[in-house]
Amino acid sequence: MERHILAISSGGFSKEDEAYIDEYLLKISIKQKPLKIAFIATASNDAPDYINKFYGAFKTEHASHITIKDFENSNIQETVNSLDVVYVGGGNTQYMLETWQRTHFNMVLRDAYQNGVILAGISAGAMCWFETCYSEKNDEEYEEFKGLGMLKGSLCPHYNDEKRCKAFDNWVITQPKSNIYTLEDNENLHFRDEKLIAKIVV
């Protein structure tokens, strides 16, 4: 069973109507449409407007969303494993990962991935799949923290942002040799079975 991760630096349904990268995501699956696709907006603390935009963009699919409260449901693993696609939104990466760890939703995502559920995400939802994250601690500082580790190395989205680019580059110098990926806002990466197979520029 193939495993897929689509790392989206920016854009998608949150920035544009009928976004190409969202169409690309839906074409990864070999299943017949409509697909069962769920949005996870933990990084934005389940922002209602963000969730509504998701439903507007994927109205032709079997769209749903999973809130932080839903992580506590006894059948959450079964629910996520029944999906075709999980789409993770942007926002506060560290808050999202800490919430997933506290509720054990990180383990739910790992199991779903191993069972062939396609994982995708924007910004925070792109860097979280890697071993290590380096992102904002506050407006002035960045810090390192542990990612989910499905993919080796680290990813920096929004690399065209001068402040973020400089902070990330300085951090990389201090790191042991590993896979480092940088994406400007119009760039995206598609991994199959943990190997990079495509860079999509939109």
Residue of 123, 135, 154, 190 with catalytic role: 123
- Give the N- to C-terminal CA distance of the chain in Å, as an integer: 28
Which residues, including other chains, have CB under 8 Å from residue 172's CB and lie 6 or more apart? 154, 180
Short-list 98, 42, 112, CA closest to 70: 42
3-state secondary structure 155-187: EECCCCCHHHHHHHHHHHHCCCCCCEEECCCCE
Give yes or no: 158 in active site: yes
Taken in order 158, 164, 169, 174, is the CA torsion positive or negative? negative
Residue of 10, 44, 135, 158 with catalytic role: 158
Give the tokens for residue 117: 């559920």
Give yes or no: 123 in active site: yes
Q: Which residues are catalytic?
A: 123, 158
